[in-house]
């Protein structure tokens, strides 16, 4: 008897454990989806996929095995003589068996079982339960077979089923043994709420708020860690532009200002070989702080910086420059001028380089080979048309 008592879990403790399980499940689900979203947006290095994928599988395995362990213990507790004490164990006839469409790691399948229950001191009733069962157990399930139903004392009309045969004779064909009450099937979402077993408008509203808060916390965590919460907000705001094929990305006003500020913070007082702003990232080639003449390559997405593994020496040191003179207002002036005769969404990149001014195509203005000029360049898709602007005044150079 002492051993059996160890299997019985107090009802309140059991409900508290289920609550904690769900409290951990929702933010974990949000974390996985949030990490994947941050990865797709480029805020997290692609190398972390080698950690993320096994970690997600391991996390899912942990929750599934926790659920399987709980259901197995629950079944053992329900079918023990001490737990049921013969008071809540009733013979039942299986009326129909359907698959619920859920499989847990090829260990358990969810079944929807409709049965008629024959209590000893109450009229028969019909109920529909959802229960996970092994392949061996499923093979033994057949309609019209008699099994044992263990009613949940805290949830009348519902419980668990055991394939064990009930004691005594059951006259299932007797008209007096027909169900006089039908308990409806519980909705598939009944597992989702955090609190309350019998949902009403108030408890549904509270559950929605709690679930949204927990899932949202998990989802936003990767963005909080990488400092990209604000960039997530901008991604949501600009997403409709993709639906109408007018996506501007970093060339939107607020995003462009933030991308410029992040690039300047990363460059600091180092010399630059090129600074190119694309729709979804910024490409920076900057002098290594501890290796003069060596160039580091970095991709900036939001507030995340992914640096190249190797730094290479530059073949043209005279092309290095500082970006002090290239202000945000000057770049914004260039974008405003571009928008007068081009679509901003067609821009491939806008950037700053020190290069030769090649003059006009008709030869009216000859190339200037004597020095390299820090100018602003704009390249378009799909025909690779380009515009060039004076790096000090922001005036469009003739072509």
pTM assigned to the model = 0.74
Lowest-pLDDT choice from 16-30, 307-321, 346-360, 378-392 = 307-321
Instruction: Please compute the mean of the pLDDT values over residues 80-96 and round it to a whole number.
Output: 72
Tell me the per-residue pLDDT of 21-79, one tens digit each, with 9 for 90 and over. 888 999 999 999 999 999 999 898 878 888 888 988 888 888 888 887 877 777 676 66
Which position has the token pair 């949830």? 155
Q: What is the DSSP string of 285-346?
A: EEEETTEEEEEEEEEEETTEEEE-S--EE-S-GGG-B-STT--HHHHHHHHHHHTTTS-GGG
The pLDDT value given to residue 4: 43
- The gap between the terminal CA atoms of the chain, to the nearest Å, is 95
User: b or e along 46-82 (b: 16 or more beta carbons within 10 Å of the residue's beta carbon)?
Assistant: eeeeeebeeebeeeeeeeeeebeeebeebbebbbbee
Helix (H) / strand (E) element for 349: namely: strand 347-357
Query: What is the C-alpha separation between 212 and 224, in angstroms, rounded?
Result: 17
Task: Please choose, from the candidates 15, 185, 204, 178, the residue with its C-alpha nearest in 3D space to the C-alpha of residue 93.
Answer: 178
Strands 304-307 and 291-301, how do they pair? antiparallel
Instruction: Please compute the mean of the pLDDT values over residues 115-122 and round it to a whole number.
Output: 86
The pLDDT value given to residue 335: 94
Indicate if the pLDDT at residue 364 is higher than 70.
no
Instruction: Please compute the mean of the pLDDT values over residues 350-359 and round it to a whole number.
Output: 80
Topology of the domain comprising 86-186? OB fold (Dihydrolipoamide Acetyltransferase, E2P) (2.40.50)
As a dihedral over the C-alpha atoms of residue 55, residue 61, residue 67, residue 69, rounded to 10 degrees, the angle is: -120
Which residues lie across from 89 on neighbouring strands? 150
Indicate if the pLDDT at residue 101 is higher than 90.
no
Q: What is the DSSP string of 141-199?
A: --TT-EEEEEEETTEEEEEEEE-SPPSS---TTSGGGS-SEEPPPPPGGGGS-SS-SS-
Query: What is the C-alpha separation between 274 and 111, in angstroms, rounded?
Result: 62
- Crossing angle of helices 229-243 and 201-226, in 10° steps, is 100
The pLDDT value given to residue 9: 67
User: Which distant-in-sequence residues (6+ apart) come within 8 Å of 362 by Cβ?
Assistant: none
Instruction: Please compute the mean of the pLDDT values over residues 324-351 and round it to a whole number.
Output: 92
Query: What is the C-alpha separation between 47 and 28, in angstroms, rounded?
Result: 21
Domain regions of the chain by residue span: 1-83+196-226, 86-186, 249-389
The pLDDT value given to residue 85: 54
Length of the chain: 399
pLDDT greater at residue 228 or residue 107 = 228
Q: What are phi and psi of 265, to 5 degrees?
A: -65, -35
Count how many Cα atoms sit within 13 Å of the Cα of residue 99 in the half-sphere of its side chain. 10
Indicate if the pLDDT at residue 385 is higher than 50.
yes
As to burial, measured by CB atoms within 10 angstroms (0-12 exposed, 13-18 middle, 19+ buried), residue 320 is: buried
Rg (CA), the chain: 34
């Amino acid at each position: 008897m002492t051993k059996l008592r160890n299997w019985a879990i107090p009802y309140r403790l059991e409900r508290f454990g289920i609550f904690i399980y769900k409290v951990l499940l929702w933010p974990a689900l949000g974390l996985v989806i949030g990490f994947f979203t941050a990865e797709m947006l480029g805020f997290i290095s692609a190398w972390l996929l080698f950690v993320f994928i096994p970690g997600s599988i391991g996390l899912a395995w942990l929750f599934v095995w926790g659920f399987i362990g709980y259901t197995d213990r629950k079944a053992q507790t329900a079918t023990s003589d001490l737990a049921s004490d013969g008071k809540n164990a009733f013979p039942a006839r299986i009326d129909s068996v359907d698959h619920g469409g859920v499989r847990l790691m090829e260990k358990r399948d969810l079944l929807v079982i409709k049965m008629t229950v024959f209590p000893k001191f109450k009229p028969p009733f019909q109920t529909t339960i959802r229960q996970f069962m092994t392949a061996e157990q499923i093979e033994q399930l057949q309609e019209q077979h008699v099994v044992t139903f263990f009613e949940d004392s805290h949830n009348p009309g519902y419980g668990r089923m055991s394939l064990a045969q009930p004691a005594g004779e059951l006259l299932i064909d007797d008209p007096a043994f027909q169900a006089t009450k039908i308990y409806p099937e519980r909705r598939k979402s009944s597992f989702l709420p955090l609190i309350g077993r019998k949902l009403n408008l108030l408890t549904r509203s509270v559950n929605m708020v709690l679930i949204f808060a927990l899932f949202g916390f998990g989802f936003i965590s990767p963005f909080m860690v990488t400092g990209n919460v604000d960039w997530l907000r901008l991604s949501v705001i600009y997403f409709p532009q993709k639906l109408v094929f007018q996506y501007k990305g970093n060339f939107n006003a607020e995003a462009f200002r933030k991308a410029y500020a992040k690039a300047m913070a990363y460059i600091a007082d180092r010399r630059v070989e090129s600074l190119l702003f694309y729709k979804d990232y910024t490409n920076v080639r900057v002098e290594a702080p501890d290796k003069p003449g060596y160039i580091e390559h970095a991709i900036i997405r939001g507030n995340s910086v992914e640096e190249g593994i190797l730094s290479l020496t530059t073949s043209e040191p005279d092309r290095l420059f500082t970006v002090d003179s290239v202000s945000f207002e000057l770049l914004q002036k260039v974008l405003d001028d571009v928008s007068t005769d081009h679509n901003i969404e067609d821009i491939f990149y806008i950037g700053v380089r020190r290069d030769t001014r090649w003059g006009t195509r008709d030869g009216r203005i000859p190339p200037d080979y004597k020095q390299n000029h820090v100018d602003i360049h704009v390249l378009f898709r799909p025909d690779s048309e380009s515009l060039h602007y004076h790096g000090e005044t922001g005036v469009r150079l003739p072509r």
